[in-house]
Amino acid sequence: MTGEAKTIKLAFEAEGIHLQLSQLVPLKTTRPGTKESKKYAQILRSVKAIGLVEAPVVSRDPTNPGIFFLLDGHVRIEALKDLGIDQVECLIATDDETYTYNKRINRLVPVQEHRMVVRAIQRGVPEEQIAEALGLEVTSVRRRARMLDGICPEAVQLLTNAPCPFRVFDILRQMRSIRQIEAAELMLGQQNFTAVFARALLVATAENQLVPEARSKPQEASSAKEQITRLERELVSLQSQIKSVEDDYGIDNLHLTVAKGYVAKLLGNARVVRWLAQNRHEYLTELQSVAEIESVAPTAIAAE
């Protein structure tokens, strides 16, 4: 291999830095109602009990030494303010990609929460302290720690980033490994992670694909067949509705998707974001709302 060796540019400065909260300039506003939400209360308790797990990300203001733009961690900074803490350790980003640090990075889905709880227990953190930080009962913490017992690794991998309620894993546990994988793939394909859908898949599962404890008694067999027949009719009806929506709104959805992608790319330029923050703050808020839309298509059924 010829030529000079290329140096890999680090995305962050090697050392973190302790900053006063007054030195931070947020690049987006906190949405109305955020502080009244259950999630904010959970973050507040977590920061109070065990401190910040993930440091906020900032970038230097090239025109004003001592001032830093806050790229990621807006809600955590608000929590520190409410707790009367005026200093925080931050990571300093060296690139110009502000929109990389998206709120979706911090969204905690059940599988990730399970792993966090298990790691905390393995490190010797008392279950009572974990429960206080997450705003849960101790029994709920124990349930989260055991959530993946009996679930095959392949199904866990498929659902790692899926917003599955805990009840879904209780239902999957009644299936054999191969069927767990099939069910996880079906849920991903339909983008439907509700317990209702999982129960429907359980009902449609052949007896030999269930664990012995979940197999139907003889008198329950006829009822299960009726439920399967009804499920098939509902799926046919649903597919017809989906086809109708695709025909009517497909082109509009494509246009909106392209527009959303362009806005997200635009906000990936730190200079554009800084100009908007200084000159058209109201536009910046609206553009960020558009760019953060997860899907311009009709949203999937909410998880139970």
Residue 17 CA, chain-centre distance (Å), reads 27
Q: Cβ distance 186 to 211 under 8 Å?
A: no
Check if 17-106 and 110-215 are the same fold.
Answer: no
In sequence order, the β-bridge partners of residue 92 are 58
CATH for 110-215 is 1.10.10.2830
Parse the chain into domains and list their residue ranges: 17-106, 110-215, 245-291
Share of the chain above pLDDT 90, in %: 12
Q: Which fold has domain 17-106?
A: 3.90.1530
Q: What's the token pair of residue 298?
A: 């009709």
Is the pLDDT at 17 greater than 70, yes or no? yes
Percent of the chain with pLDDT over 70: 77
User: So what's the pLDDT on residue 188?
Assistant: 87
Look at residue 21 in the predicted model and tell me its pLDDT.
Answer: 92
**Structural element, H or E, at residue 43:** helix 38-50
Q: What is the pLDDT of residues 215-266, one digit of tens each?
A: 765 555 556 666 666 766 777 677 677 777 666 666 777 777 878 888 888 8
Distance, CA of 182 to CA of 175 (rounded, Å):
10
